[in-house]
Copies of this chain bind each other. A is one copy, B any other.
Amino acid sequence: MHPYLNIAVKAARSAGTIMVRALDRRDRLGVTSKGAPNDFVTNVDRAAEAEIIHIIKKAYPDHGIYAEESGVQAGTNINNVVWIIDPLDGTLNYIHGIPHFCVSIGIQIRGVIEHGVIYNPISNELFTATKGAGAQLDGRRIRVSECRAIDGAIMATGFAYKRTNETLDTCMARVSTTLEACADIRRFGSAALDLAYVAAGRFDGFWEVGLAAWDVAAGALLVREAGGFVGDFHGGDNFLEGKQIIAATPKVYPQLLKLL
């Protein structure tokens, strides 16, 4: 394992522990979902992100950071290594105690995502990828599914119209068209884990709008290293900052692209 990926795994596991402990503490104290849930999750989000950045900075003090809570911290290193961090993807699931959320860390070197980690601290599943070296789940090689036709495919998506400029009608039209064409749609509530599930062959495709770089950096690398295709809604490569992403098996990708 590359030393950078090793540090990313260490940071993800450490942040995951913070999240699970905070949930346990809340459950023990009987703090319900009505008890200032936003303060609760903001505090956990910040503590997890601070822990991740602390671990990275200790190992690589001159690397750059691009994180959901704390924004951009430019690095001074000559290779322009930037760690792209979502400390807690699936915030709403986390607040509600739905056991499906994760830490996502992507490592960009000279503008290219070279390493990625997605970690679900409840299931303890660790997804990792390094560019050119494949994708793994708990150290075992994973591949996208062999699904060839969209009519047998399980698709995942998110309903993002409230945080984007999309109308509800546009969002629903995409769901409706795709649902008619595929076997079924899943909506699990964590874009990073959705991408990891595509990489593991659990979902055959995924699309969402309104996502940020920290939501998709690690997941897009995972899908590509697992043999899948990733792009924007025009089939181009502008998904990291473009707020639109499609990821799927090589055969399903063009069919999904056409539908959307």
**Chain A residues in the interface with B (C-beta under 8 A):** 32-34, 92, 96-99, 122-123, 145-148, 154, 159, 161, 168-169, 172, 175-176, 179-180, 183-189, 197, 200-204
CA distance A204 to B33 in the complex (A): 10
Given known A146-B32, A172-B172, contact A179–B159 (CB-CB < 8 A): yes
The answer on a CB contact under 8 Å between A92 and B154 is: yes
The answer on a CB contact under 8 Å between B145 and A202 is: no
Partner of A172 from B34, B176, B201 at Cβ < 8 Å: B176
Partner of A180 from B33, B145, B168 at Cβ < 8 Å: B168
Minimum C-beta distance from A99 to chain B (A): 7
Contacts A97-B202, A187-B187 supplied; 15 other A-B pairs, CB < 8 Å: A32-B146, A33-B145, A33-B146, A34-B147, A92-B154, A96-B154, A98-B186, A98-B203, A99-B123, A123-B123, A161-B179, A168-B179, A175-B175, A186-B188, A186-B189
Given known A98-B203, A123-B123, contact A147–B180 (CB-CB < 8 A): no
Given known A96-B145, A99-B123, A180-B168, contact A33–B201 (CB-CB < 8 A): yes
Given known A201-B97, A202-B96, contact A32–B168 (CB-CB < 8 A): no
Which residue of the partner chain B has the closest CB to A37? Answer: B152
CA distance A201 to B145 in the complex (A): 33
Chain B residues positioned under 8 Å from A168 (CB to CB): 176, 179-180
CA distance A172 to B159 in the complex (A): 13
Minimum C-beta distance from A167 to chain B (A): 11
Partner of A98 from B33, B96, B122, B202 at Cβ < 8 Å: B202
Partner of A203 from B96, B146, B148 at Cβ < 8 Å: B96
Chain B residues positioned under 8 Å from A99 (CB to CB): 123
Chain B residues positioned under 8 Å from A147 (CB to CB): 33-34
17 A-B Cβ contacts within 8 A? Answer: A32-B146, A33-B145, A34-B146, A34-B147, A92-B184, A96-B201, A97-B200, A123-B123, A159-B179, A168-B179, A172-B175, A172-B176, A184-B189, A186-B188, A186-B189, A187-B187, A188-B188
CA distance A27 to B26 in the complex (A): 37
